[in-house]
Every structure is written in C-alpha cells, then in structure tokens.
Amino acid sequence: MESFEQLLEISTRIHGHICAGQVIGVRMSMTGLARIGIADPKGADRKKLYVLVEIDRCATDAIQSVTGCSLGKRSLRWLDFGIMAATFVNLETGKAVRVTAREEARTLSASYCPEVVDKYQRQLEAYKVMPLDELFTFQAVNVALQDCDLPGRPIRRVQCAQCGDWVQDCREVERQGQILCRPCAGQRYYQVVDEADSTARIPGSPA
C-alpha cells in the first residue's frame, strides 16, 4: 500500500480539497486495514474487504479512496448515524475493527501545532502526527452481515404490487400479504407532482 503522504494526495485530489477530514479518513483507513490483516485493499485483498461508514462527511471520501471500496461495488455501506466512525471487516477471517475519531483530539491539536493560529489548519496539521491512540478509539467487533448486503449479483428481484417498480437485494417490504417497495410502504422521500412544479425543497430557501 502507498505511504500516508501518497494516499493523502490521492484522496485530496478525489475529494477536491485538503481538510482535516481527509487526514482523519486516510489514517483511520490505514490503521483499520492493518488491524484486520488487509495489506493490498485495491489488489490481492480487494474481495476480502468490507467497510461500514457511519457519517457522510469528508472522511468518507478518504476512506473510499484508500480502501477502494464503494457503494457501487457493494463493498462500502453507509449507515446514517452521524458518528465519525468506520468499521473495517475482513470477509475471509471475520475479523473486524470499529475506529472512531476522538473528540478530544480537537483540543489536543493545540499541543502539537501551537504556532498555527487558525484552528482548522491546526487540526489538519496535528492530525498528521498525533499518535493513533490520541486520535482514535478502537473496538474489536463482530459484524453480522446479511447475504443480501454483500457484493455480487442480486439474490432476488421482486416487483412492487402497488407501483410496479422492481426491488433488488431484499429491500422489499411485505404488508398484508403484498410485496411493496419501501416508498409505497411509507418511506417515500419525494412527492410526485406535475413536471412544471418539480423542485427540491431546501431548508431556508423561499417556498
């Protein structure tokens, strides 16, 4: 695997800018992979690796960049927990580690780069050199992965009895003997309107 500096450069290029989240994501990935015995995540070990991320922030781009895992490959799973954490799983051995960024690291950054006035730049530089046990919390964990969540061809495809959409990967809902997609089962995030009225309602924008 590439060096930290090389991985950070690649991640920054993909993400679009350098930030503290990129540093956290790269270091989180490197130590997570090492702890589960994955040395070549984009090559020889690519089919052994599965990653679960708990936040949709900058660090997630770095995790995807370093590990090579992605939603499209079904080797990366996003759980909307809002926690700066990720779990790295070796599918071959079952070994898994959850790595969480420590909140205390924000304050500790001042002791590593006191000469940097801007707090965000100070955190960025400090996170590059801060010992891992000050930057992260590590938990050995067991992860119960379902067959329908793993990479590979869909286990099944079923048609929603209400709208006719086809549902893959066991995401359907059975309701009163009917197979429904999740939107028809009450989890719809959109409302169907006339095309002329189609828009996204963004908080704070004019109605």
* 91, two tokens: 């599918």
pLDDT at 199: 67
pLDDT at 194: 81
What domains are there in the chain, each with its CATH number? 4-149 (3.30.1330.130), 157-197 (no CATH)
pLDDT in tens, 10-38: 999 999 999 999 999 999 999 999 999 99
pLDDT at 103: 94
Which residue numbers in the chain have pLDDT < 50? none
Within 8 A by CB and 6+ apart from 99, the residues are 28, 31, 32, 85, 86, 87, 88, 136, 137, 138
Q: 184 phi and psi, to 5 degrees? A: -70, -20
pLDDT at 192: 87
Would strands 76-78 and 49-53 be described as parallel, antiparallel, or unpaired?
parallel
Are residues 137 and 100 in contact, defined by beta-carbon separation less than 8 angstroms? yes
pLDDT at 113: 86
Distance separating alpha carbons of residues 154 and 152, to the nearest angstrom: 7
| 33 burial type by CB count under 10 A (0-12 exposed, 13-18 middle, 19+ buried) | buried
pLDDT at 108: 92
Q: Which amino acid is at 70?
A: S
